[in-house]
């Protein structure tokens, strides 16, 4: 049985993972995403995002970095088209694949069926997935290390495994822009590294644009070309990663002392916890 397929245009305030075909031509052809003076509030008079303007260059990685509750997820949903701005304009240069932190489904689908949902645009509304669609889904599962789970029930998976399947679904869509909400939050260290390497490969080898949110400065430091520091309504600062990820700047953002430590040939951002053993 072919799975039920949903589109962003019909799922705007729910935040479900989806693929948006509602791309708006971007004025500057080097930008994949442009936000112009964008504002949004869930409740009148209480903005979550206020007068935000930013650009995500094509073929680059943009990290949204900020503490819990700063508005990163809302900003990502606006970028992806899962929320419509109350003020301002969001422009997209191509097809967007959005992966939420948690993927909730109402029925017991197999892992393969979940990934095939990402092929909705290619399959069509009343068509059955073709061999080509299944091959694309299996290839996507292979890229995130989940090929052997294709026939498993999605409901049986751990949180981290579900997150990897959601990433595969976005990849199977052949979207040009991937928008990922804390894609490593439920993953162990090995899978965190795998996802970060996967993002780099998608940009380097496939020319995709990746926008992801995180509250891990070291993840942004490892892969991002540009970083947006999200501090709350009206406080989104964007710039090159080398400038935005200054230890003092990141420390003020999170309210903890941050230092750079030399590990082999890398400078790594790490907190200086005020803790004592025992």
Considering the domain architecture, whether residues 29 and 118 belong to the same structural domain is answered as yes
Considering the domain architecture, whether residues 144 and 254 belong to the same structural domain is answered as no
Does any domain span residue 160?
yes
Alpha-carbon gap, residue 86 to 149, rounded angstroms:
41
User: Which residue range is the domain that position 278 belongs to?
Assistant: 247-278
146 burial level (CB within 10 Å; 0-12, 13-18, 19+): buried
Considering the domain architecture, whether residues 148 and 261 belong to the same structural domain is answered as no
Average per-residue pLDDT for the chain: 85
Q: Would you say residue 92 has pLDDT above 90? A: yes
Does any domain span residue 103?
yes
Based on the structure, what is the number of domains in the chain? 2
Does any domain span residue 1?
no
Considering the domain architecture, whether residues 117 and 172 belong to the same structural domain is answered as yes
pLDDT of residue 139: 94
- In this structure, what CATH number is given to the domain that contains residue 170? 3.40.50.300
Considering the domain architecture, whether residues 206 and 259 belong to the same structural domain is answered as no
Considering the domain architecture, whether residues 153 and 110 belong to the same structural domain is answered as yes
Considering the domain architecture, whether residues 86 and 20 belong to the same structural domain is answered as yes
Does any domain span residue 120?
yes
pLDDT of residue 122: 78
Considering the domain architecture, whether residues 207 and 278 belong to the same structural domain is answered as no
Confidence of residue 45 (pLDDT cuts 50, 70, 90): confident
pTM of this structure:
0.83
Does any domain span residue 125?
yes
Q: Would you say residue 26 has pLDDT above 80? A: no
Considering the domain architecture, whether residues 51 and 138 belong to the same structural domain is answered as yes
pLDDT of residue 185: 86
For residue 86, the tally of other CB atoms under 10 A from its CB is 13
pLDDT of residue 29: 64
Considering the domain architecture, whether residues 265 and 167 belong to the same structural domain is answered as no
More confident residue, 17 or 222: 222
Q: What is the mean pLDDT of residues 21-40?
A: 75
Does any domain span residue 89?
yes
Considering the domain architecture, whether residues 239 and 267 belong to the same structural domain is answered as no
Considering the domain architecture, whether residues 83 and 163 belong to the same structural domain is answered as yes
Does any domain span residue 272?
yes
Does any domain span residue 3?
no
Contact 209, 33 (CB under 8 A): yes
């Amino acid at each position: 049985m072919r799975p039920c397929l949903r589109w962003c245009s019909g799922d705007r305030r729910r935040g479900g993972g989806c693929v948006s075909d509602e791309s708006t031509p971007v004025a500057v052809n080097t930008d994949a995403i442009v936000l112009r003076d964008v504002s949004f509030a869930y409740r009148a008079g209480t903005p979550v995002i206020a007068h935000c303007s930013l650009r995500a260059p094509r073929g680059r990685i943009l990290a949204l970095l900020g503490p819990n509750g700063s508005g990163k997820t809302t900003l990502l949903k606006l970028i992806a088209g899962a929320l419509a701005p109350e003020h301002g304009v969001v422009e997209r240069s191509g097809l967007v694949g959005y992966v939420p932190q948690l993927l909730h489904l109402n029925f017991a689908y197999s892992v393969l069926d979940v990934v095939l949902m990402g092929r909705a645009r290619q399959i069509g509304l009343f068509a059955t997935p073709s061999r080509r669609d299944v091959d694309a889904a299996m290839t996507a599962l292979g890229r995130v290390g989940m090929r052997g789970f294709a026939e498993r029930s999605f409901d049986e998976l751990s949180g981290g495994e579900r997150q990897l399947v959601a990433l595969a679904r976005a990849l199977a869509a052949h979207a040009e822009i991937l928008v990922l909400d804390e894609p490593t939050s439920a993953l162990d260290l090995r899978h965190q590294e795998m996802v970060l390497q996967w993002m780099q490969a998608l940009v380097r080898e496939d020319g995709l644009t990746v926008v992801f949110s995180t509250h891990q400065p070291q993840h942004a430091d490892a892969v991002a070309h540009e970083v947006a520091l999200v501090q709350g309504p009206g406080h989104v600062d964007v710039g090159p990663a080398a400038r935005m990820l200054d230890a003092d700047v990141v420390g003020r953002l999170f309210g903890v002392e941050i230092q750079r430590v030399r590990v082999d040939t890398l400078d790594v951002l790490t907190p200086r916890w005020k803790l004592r053993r025992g």
